[in-house]
Structure 1
Amino acid sequence: MFSVFVYAFIVLMFAGLIVAAVKNAKGKRRGLVWQVLDALAQKGKDAARGPRFVPKKVLTAPEQTLYHRLKAALPYEVLAQVAFSQFIGVKGGSRKANFAKFGTARQKVADFVICRRDLSILAVVELDDRSHTRKRDQAKNAVLEEAGIPIIRWHVKDMPDRERIRDAVAALVQPQPEASQNVGRAEPAVE
């Protein structure tokens, strides 16, 4: 019957063999097992640092496709991923009421904003995919409708070609009066 000392001796022997193998492997090409252990150790170090900011692409692959099609099809400026707070303002109520109403729009983001040369807004384009929900889309639609900004929606499974893009935007183009509501930058500030 093995005693506790024998088990301890065996464990220490294995630990000694592992230490010797690590010392011997330094500077040499390490085997797959060691590479896996190193990767696990690095992952543990990364997790220990906690969350951190990392770069990511501005547009998803389908959004990139639509962006390039919009740019190729239209003689207008096309802006991507624009916060509503950059082109929607609020007027007409008390300072507190305007600020509260603005709060319902400022966190929303338009997939694309089509602008004239003077950067006045012609339309907002939304590419609906699985990240879009009916409730959020209806909220965006309501804000844009109230502001008088046309919205064009396409589904990712029915991506428009250049001709369809031109037709949809051409239907929106109308001569602008001198004092257009879109001239200049919309102020998110509250009256």
Structure 2
Amino acid sequence: MDNLTLVIALAAVAVAGILFFINRRPARQTAVETVSHRRYAGAHREQARPAADADPQTRFVETSKPKQYRLLNSSEQELYHRLCEAMPNMRVFTQVGVSQLALARGRQEAMRLSRMAGRGVDFVVCDADFSIVAAIELAWPTTGQEIDNAEDVKRVALQSLGIPMIVFRPNKLPDADTISREIADAILRRNRLEAERS
């Protein structure tokens, strides 16, 4: 009986030692990674530090808090929430490329609109079955003819795909009721565009 107790005690000590070693090992790796990260960050800071004789007005100024990287700016976020409020049964997608919308129509449409690569719309509104209802742009009013032409080119490209485009202005964001009316009108226009495509 004493030998059995001794064997159980030794096994318990061995298990405790293994658990202690396993729990301690990641802590060492974390400490090493932290030290190496501090070295890298310190070296990076030293490189970013301006020379002492540089003009004070041209020195790099480090901000205390880095700017957060967001998919939507504040106006786009506000419009997104209003779109969701106005159309709770529809799906709203953000930052969709025109070429992706063309590809949804087929390879030929994508090739025809290949010049639109790199251009996108701020929002795409879809029915519950993910059929596209409208594209929505949030754009400041412009006086430059070049920018107006770019908006018209995008509008014509989307219309050729059977997708109406709605433009809202950040300084005049519509309320949920106005958005609902605009989307209802867009559904009528989409049906008309689809009939023309047939």
TM-score higher than 0.5 here? Answer: yes
Stretch deviating more after TM superposition (103-112 or 59-68): 103-112
User: Cα deviation per residue 1:85-117 (whole Å; 9 max; x = unaligned)?
Assistant: 221137797xxx973x33212221110000011
Aligned to 1:41: 46
Q: TM-score when scaled to structure 2?
A: 0.55
Secondary structure, aligned partner of 1:157? coil
Aligned to 1:64: 77
Identity within the alignment, %? 27
Give the deviation of 1:55 after TM superposition: 7.1
Aligned to 2:182: 168
Consecutive unaligned residues in structure 1, runs of 5 or more: 1-37, 48-53, 182-191
The 5 Å alignment of 1:101-112 reads 101-112=112-123
1:81 aligned residue (91, 95, 106): 95
Secondary structure, aligned partner of 1:78? strand
- Amino acid paired to 2:72: L
The 5 Å alignment of 1:18-167 reads 41=46, 43-44=48-49, 56-74=69-87, 75-89=89-103, 99=111, 101-129=112-140, 133-167=147-181
Over 6 Å off, 4+ runs: 90-93
Count of aligned positions: 130
- Amino acid paired to 1:43: A
Structure 1 or 2: more helix by fraction: 2
Q: Taking CA–CA contacts closer than 8 Å with sequence separation of 6 or more, which of the two structures ends up with the larger relative contact order?
A: 1
- Amino acid paired to 2:79: L
